[in-house]
């Protein structure tokens, strides 16, 4: 076998592993693979019509992301979602989104964000698919405009985790997730903060936005029965504790 052919084959395997990873990552984030579920390599191969090598690579990457935990000789456990992890996720995201908003002033195309927001609101309220991707793109542009690749990468991960929580809320029947709840003004306030030219106004607006999302998620979860038997409580300030 020539060196070029060998390199091509190795590249193909890497590409297949990356494709499998992206597929399974999305399935976990969208809660099609549920939190708390036990999975195996063979099961995923059968379900998604994938070969073992790409799945093995994908599982290693998912474990590195903290989305699954290896169980020796049994398979993998999909990471649970609890009120504690929700609290930690939104706490970190609020802090970093504030920093990103502060840094992106004057660097991000706010009119472009408004166009995306209009598309998102119209699509969400009409039940069009793919609107979460449009929503995320608004945040991605702000993260990128911060000109801090390290923070951008972490915020991508935190936003994915926030989305996973939102999909989970829908799965367990929490209230407050109807598409008709999506309104233009919710993001418009953020755009105006970016246009204000005041870094502190932008930071506080984005932090408040994330904290409001946290309150809605926790309220929705408390309307379901999923957490009723867990040793976790919410005090009057919405703080999760064990």
Same domain, 138 and 154: yes
What phi and psi, each to the nearest 5 degrees, are found at residue 68? -135, 160
pTM of the model: 0.83
DSSP designation for 233:
E
Number of domains in the chain: 2
Q: Contact at 8 Å (CB) between 81 and 40?
A: no
Taking only the tens place, the pLDDT of each residue in 42-93 is: 999 999 999 999 999 999 999 999 999 999 989 999 999 988 899 999 999 9
Taking only the tens place, the pLDDT of each residue in 169-208 is: 888 765 544 444 567 788 999 999 999 999 999 999 999 9
Same domain, 39 and 104: no
146-171 as b/e: b if 16+ CB within 10 A:
bebeebbebbeebbbbbbbbbbbbeb
Please, which residues bridge with residue 68 across strands?
A: 78
Taking only the tens place, the pLDDT of each residue in 98-117 is: 999 999 999 999 999 999 99
Nearest to 39 by CA among 74, 10, 87: 74
* CATH number of the CATH domain containing 8: 1.10.10.10
Task: Give the pLDDT score at 114.
Answer: 96
Same domain, 150 and 176: yes
Same domain, 26 and 71: yes
- The domain in which residue 158 lies consists of 83-241
Task: Give the pLDDT score at 4.
Answer: 40
Angle in degrees, CA 158, 160, 162, rounded to 5: 70
Separation CA 152–CA 96 (nearest Å): 9
- Give the sign of the dihedral formed by CA 139, CA 143, CA 144, CA 150: negative
The secondary element (H helix, E strand) that includes residue 159 is helix 149-171
């Amino acid at each position: 076998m020539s060196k070029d052919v060998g390199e091509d084959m190795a590249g193909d395997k890497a590409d297949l592993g990356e494709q499998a990873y992206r597929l399974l990552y999305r399935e976990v984030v969208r809660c099609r693979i549920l939190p708390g579920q036990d999975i195996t390599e063979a099961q995923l191969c059968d379900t998604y019509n994938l070969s073992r090598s790409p799945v093995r690579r994908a599982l290693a990457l998912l474990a590195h992301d903290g989305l699954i935990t290896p169980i020796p000789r049994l398979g993998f456990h999909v990471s649970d979602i609890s009120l504690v992890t929700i609290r930690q996720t939104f706490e970190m995201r609020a802090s970093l989104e504030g920093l990103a908003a502060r840094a992106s002033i004057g660097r991000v195309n706010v009119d472009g964000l408004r166009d995306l927001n209009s598309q998102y609101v119209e699509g969400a309220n009409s039940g069009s698919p793919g609107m979460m991707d449009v929503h995320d793109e608004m945040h991605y542009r702000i993260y990128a405009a911060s000109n801090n690749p390290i923070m951008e990468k972490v915020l991508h991960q935190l936003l994915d985790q926030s989305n996973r929580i939102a999909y989970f809320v829908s799965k367990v029947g929490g209230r407050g997730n109807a598409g008709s709840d999506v309104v233009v003004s919710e993001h418009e306030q953020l755009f105006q903060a970016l246009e204000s030219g005041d870094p502190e106004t932008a930071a506080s607006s984005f932090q408040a936005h994330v904290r409001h999302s946290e309150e809605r998620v926790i309220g929705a979860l408390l309307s379901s029965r999923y957490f009723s038997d867990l040793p976790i409580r919410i005090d009057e300030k919405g703080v999760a504790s064990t």
